């Protein structure tokens, strides 16, 4: 028995040495590359036609006529098969082919819809709803991939087309890329929180199409330290918004920790940075045709200017901003802090925060990609730090991250931030 065990030792040693010399294996989404510097002067936008299409002698209907709706064309191919066309507000644009439409029929039937996109692939798995508020992923048995992607992650892994089998009846069925959360529904959420006496909301500016840039303020006293949170610079990024909702609800909640937090800090939130883009069903841009998260250097767009002016006003009132977060969505969960070689000790709170969240959520690996370039500021995180000394992070959630986990992650992120700020 002894000699048999010994025969395995060299093999084990070889394995250990090999593993030791191997580079760490990359897990999951590694983050996007360096963003190009682009002009943020307004560009033309093709505003989509809103209305409904009818087929089968006016017995079957499709519509995009609601907040966040996008359907640019629909054709009948015969035998209850239809082809939907989804186009972007303008180009070039990030491959985020947002769609949202509803379909109904005077006669119950099963139809098949082929999804096609302008210069993109099928990124978003369809969500289904009968009320426009409660959504579930389409049953996989009703989902068919056409021309499967060749990559292992990201847009190259996505299929070129998909087909959806949908049971339709008199009551409309919503088919969307992600859950619907337009400006009306978002304002209802803001108003519901504002029933608490320490929460208020007000407009800090207007979008290009004159929608209110609503800000939520959580404050129970004359504090001069604050946390700044923004979300939804990019319209389809609903998972980031959902995590942000949980994050804010926890900070604004009734727990002893939340009460102590509010005894020391104010919280300012702009939940919907791009209300025009969200309500118009845009893939990426505002109605000035610009990616708002590239406009934190020149401030050519009214949406970014409204937040800039607010921060300057508060700083002039004597506020110190101690933490900033910008919630987004991408292919998988990832953190984008500023590298510690740049931010130094001031950034400890960000990295300690990430570590603490990770310890409490070991079941979900989340990559970290620190930025080593902060000028030109261009993106919100860099502007927050360079211009206001605010340790800040881009907090990204995956397109397909389970919704229960999004809520949990937002809650834990809030709890860990409070612990660090209250040390």
DSSP string, 350-384: HHHHHHHHHHH-TTS--EE--BS---S--SHHHHH
Q: What's the pLDDT at 289?
A: 98
Mean pLDDT, residues 170-193: 98
Q: Which is the CATH superfamily of the domain at 183-421?
A: Zn peptidases (3.40.630.10)
pLDDT in tens, 192-250: 999 999 999 999 999 999 999 999 999 998 889 999 999 999 999 999 999 999 999 99
CATH 2.60.40.3120-classified regions of the chain: 52-176
CB within 8 Å of 315: residues ≥ 6 apart = 321, 388
Give the CB-side neighbour count of residue 38, counting CA atoms within 13 A: 17
Q: Distance (Å, rounded) from C-alpha 56 to C-alpha 207?
A: 40
Mean pLDDT, the chain, integer? 93
Mean pLDDT, residues 180-202: 98
Q: What's the pLDDT at 26?
A: 55
Task: Give the number of other CB atoms < 10 A from CB of residue 12.
Answer: 9
Kindly indicate the confidence band of residue 28, based on its pLDDT and cuts at 50, 70 and 90.
low
Please determine, for residue 11, whether its predicted confidence score (pLDDT) is greater than 90: no
CATH 3.40.630.10-classified regions of the chain: 183-421
Q: Distance (Å, rounded) from C-alpha 71 to C-alpha 169?
A: 20
pLDDT in tens, 235-257: 999 999 999 999 999 999 999 99
The answer to whether 393 touches 383, Cβ cutoff 8 Å, is no
Mean pLDDT, residues 300-329: 98
Q: Is pTM beyond 0.85 here?
A: yes
Q: Which helix (H) or strand (E) segment is 261 a member of?
A: helix 256-262
Mean pLDDT, residues 289-309: 98
Q: Distance (Å, rounded) from C-alpha 283 to C-alpha 243?
A: 20
Q: What's the pLDDT at 5?
A: 39
pLDDT in tens, 368-405: 999 999 999 999 999 999 999 999 999 999 999 999 99
Please determine, for residue 3, whether its predicted confidence score (pLDDT) is greater than 60: no
Q: Which helix (H) or strand (E) segment is 186 a member of?
A: helix 183-193
- The matching CATH number, chosen from 1.10.101.10, 2.60.40.3120, 2.40.170.20, 2.40.110.10, for 52-176 is 2.60.40.3120
pLDDT in tens, 74-93: 999 999 999 999 999 999 99
Kindly indicate the confidence band of residue 23, based on its pLDDT and cuts at 50, 70 and 90.
very low
Kindly indicate the confidence band of residue 19, based on its pLDDT and cuts at 50, 70 and 90.
very low
Q: What's the pLDDT at 34?
A: 80
């Amino acid at each position: 028995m002894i000699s048999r065990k010994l025969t395995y030792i060299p093999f084990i040693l070889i394995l250990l040495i090999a593993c030791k010399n191997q580079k760490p294996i990359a897990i999951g989404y590694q983050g996007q590359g360096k963003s190009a510097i682009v002009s943020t002067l307004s560009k033309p936008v093709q505003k989509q036609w809103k209305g409904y299409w009818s087929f089968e002698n006016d017995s079957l209907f499709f519509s995009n006529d609601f907040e966040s709706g996008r359907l640019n064309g629909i054709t009948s191919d015969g035998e209850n098969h239809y082809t939907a066309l989804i186009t972007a507000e303008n180009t070039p644009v990030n491959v985020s082919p947002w769609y949202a439409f509803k379909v109904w029929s005077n006669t119950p039937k099963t139809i098949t819809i082929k999804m096609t996109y302008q210069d993109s692939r099928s990124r978003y798995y369809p969500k289904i709803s009968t009320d426009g508020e409660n959504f579930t992923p389409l049953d996989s048995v009703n989902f068919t991939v056409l021309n499967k992607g060749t990559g292992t992650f990201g847009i190259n892994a996505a299929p070129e087309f998909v087909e959806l089998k949908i049971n339709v009846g008199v009551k409309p069925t919503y088919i969307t890329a992600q859950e619907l959360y337009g400006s009306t529904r978002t304002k209802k959420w803001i108003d519901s929180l504002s029933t608490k006496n320490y929460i208020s909301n007000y407009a800090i500016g207007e979008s290009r199409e004159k929608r209110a840039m609503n800000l939520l303020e959580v404050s129970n006293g004359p504090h001069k330290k604050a946390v700044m949170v923004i979300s939804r610079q990019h319209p389809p990024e609903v998972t980031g918004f959902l995590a942000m909702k949980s994050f804010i609800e926890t900070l604004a909640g009734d727990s002893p920790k939340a009460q102590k937090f509010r005894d020391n800090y104010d919280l300012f939130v702009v939940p919907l940075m791009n209300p025009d883009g969200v309500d118009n069903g845009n893939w990426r841009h505002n109605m000035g045709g610009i990616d708002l998260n590239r406009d934190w250097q020149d401030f050519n767009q009214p949406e970014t200017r409204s937040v800039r002016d607010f921060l300057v006003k508060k700083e002039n009132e004597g506020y110190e901003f101690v933490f900033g977060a910008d919630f987004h969505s991408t292919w998988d969960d990832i953190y984008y802090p500023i590298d510690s070689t740049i931010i130094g000790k001031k950034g400890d709170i960000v990295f300690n925060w990430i570590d603490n969240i990770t310890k409490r959520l070991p079941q979900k690996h989340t990559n970290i990609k620190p930025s080593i370039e902060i000028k030109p500021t261009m993106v919100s995180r860099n502007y927050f730090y360079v211009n206001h000394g605010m340790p800040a992070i881009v907090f990204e959630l995956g397109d397909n991250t389970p919704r229960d986990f999004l809520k949990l992650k937002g809650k834990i992120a809030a709890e860990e931030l409070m612990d660090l700020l209250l040390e």
